[in-house]
Amino acid sequence: TPIFFSLQDGVGSLPLHVRQILQQRGVVFRTGDPVTGVRLSTGQSHAMSVETATSVTPADAVVVATAPQVAGALLGRLSADVRQLEFVKSASSTMVTFAVPRDVCPLPESGTGVLVPLHTNFAAGTDSLVTTAVTFLDRKWAHLHDPRLALVRVHTGRIDDSRALAMSDDELVSRVHAELAQIFGAWPDALETRVQRWPHALPQYFPLHQTMVSEARAALAPHGIFLGGMAYDGVGVPASIGSGRQAGREALTHAQR
């Protein structure tokens, strides 16, 4: 029995499905129009307005599911407890996926990937490996299996290592190719490669993170503003869903008062 499960079209398909369902229920999405401010209203029929460069939308309650730095910048004027969200640190991640001929791919006979020890020396240079882990995608996810190809994803980036972000795609592919040759003894030329970059995507939960989030929420809730998302309650799809549901419930309760 497989120990790993995913969506047939990848986790990236989940928000697309959610969007389709919500649109069928009448939810309106506005994309490509970043929020520039959330302003409280006095003596108006609505508690606040959400502003963009092109629109002003009245609201009785707002769920803010942005990165904490964005939330702190948008809402920090309301309270110093909210402004401190700007200082939450986030790590960046860049992934390089290789499709290589299966018959010449030097992977171990078993396993779904390897972790690379911190500060492992790069044999062809003077620094350490940028690779943090390697995933054998077609072993981990059975629906990706191809009898001709092996799909291998290389993970790079940590809170204290942003070297991959400074490299071009070609530079990163070349560097990671050399590191795979070091890790596995050799590495064939890829039939296809893909580079995916996720800048500042992984919030870091340092000591007192929960206290900081609780203080920000306590300052925002009386105004009808609620925080949701992995930056506040834990990384991962289940944690994000749970956080979003809780923020939604609180927003509805506030709006119905």
pLDDT of residue 76: 94
- 188 and 141 both lie in a single domain: yes
Q: Is residue 231 part of a domain?
A: yes
Q: Is residue 21 part of a domain?
A: no
pLDDT of residue 84: 95
Residue 218 lies in domain: 32-88+204-255
pLDDT of residue 2: 57
- 129 and 230 both lie in a single domain: no
- 107 and 152 both lie in a single domain: yes
Question: What span, in angstroms and rounded, lies between the C-alpha atoms of 182 and 115?
Answer: 14
- 102 and 154 both lie in a single domain: yes
Residue 7 has pLDDT above 60, yes or no: yes
Residue 14 has pLDDT above 70, yes or no: yes
- 215 and 251 both lie in a single domain: yes
- As a whole number of angstroms, the longest Cα–Cα distance in the chain is 72
Give the lowest-confidence range in 10-19, 98-107, 128-137: 10-19
Distance of CA 11 to the CA centre of its chain: 12
Q: Is residue 233 part of a domain?
A: yes
pLDDT of residue 10: 83
β-strand 48-52 against 56-59: which pairing, if any?
antiparallel
Paired tokens of 137:
């995608």
Residue 71 has pLDDT above 70, yes or no: yes
* pLDDT tens column, 160-186: 999 999 999 999 999 999 999 999 999
- 75 and 158 both lie in a single domain: no
Residues sharing a CB contact under 8 Å with residue 172, sequence separation 6 or more, in sequence order: 94, 96, 130, 156, 164, 195
* pLDDT tens column, 113-150: 999 999 999 998 899 999 999 999 999 988 889 999 99
- 99 and 76 both lie in a single domain: no
Give me the number of domains the chain comprises.
Answer: 2
Distance of CA 70 to the CA centre of its chain: 14
- 170 and 109 both lie in a single domain: yes
Q: Is residue 135 part of a domain?
A: yes
Q: What is the CB neighbour count within 10 angstroms for residue 214? A: 13
Higher-confidence residue of 257 and 102: namely: 102
pLDDT of residue 18: 94
- 155 and 188 both lie in a single domain: yes
pLDDT bin (cut points 50, 70, 90) of residue 45 is: confident
Q: What is the mean pLDDT of residues 19-28?
A: 96
- 148 and 61 both lie in a single domain: no
Radius of gyration (C-alpha) of the chain in whole angstroms:
22
pLDDT bin (cut points 50, 70, 90) of residue 6 is: confident
- 69 and 104 both lie in a single domain: no
- Which DSSP symbol is given to 8? T
Residue 5 has pLDDT above 80, yes or no: no
Residue 220 belongs to domain with CATH number: 3.50.50.60
For all residues of the chain together, what is the average pLDDT?
93
Q: Is residue 3 part of a domain?
A: no
Q: Given its phi and psi angles, is residue 62 left (phi above 0), alpha (psi -120 to 50 degrees) or beta?
A: beta
Q: Is residue 66 part of a domain?
A: yes
Question: What span, in angstroms and rounded, lies between the C-alpha atoms of 219 and 73?
Answer: 15
* pLDDT tens column, 180-234: 999 999 999 999 999 999 998 899 999 999 999 999 999 999 999 999 999 999 8
CB 164 within 8 Å of CB 156? yes
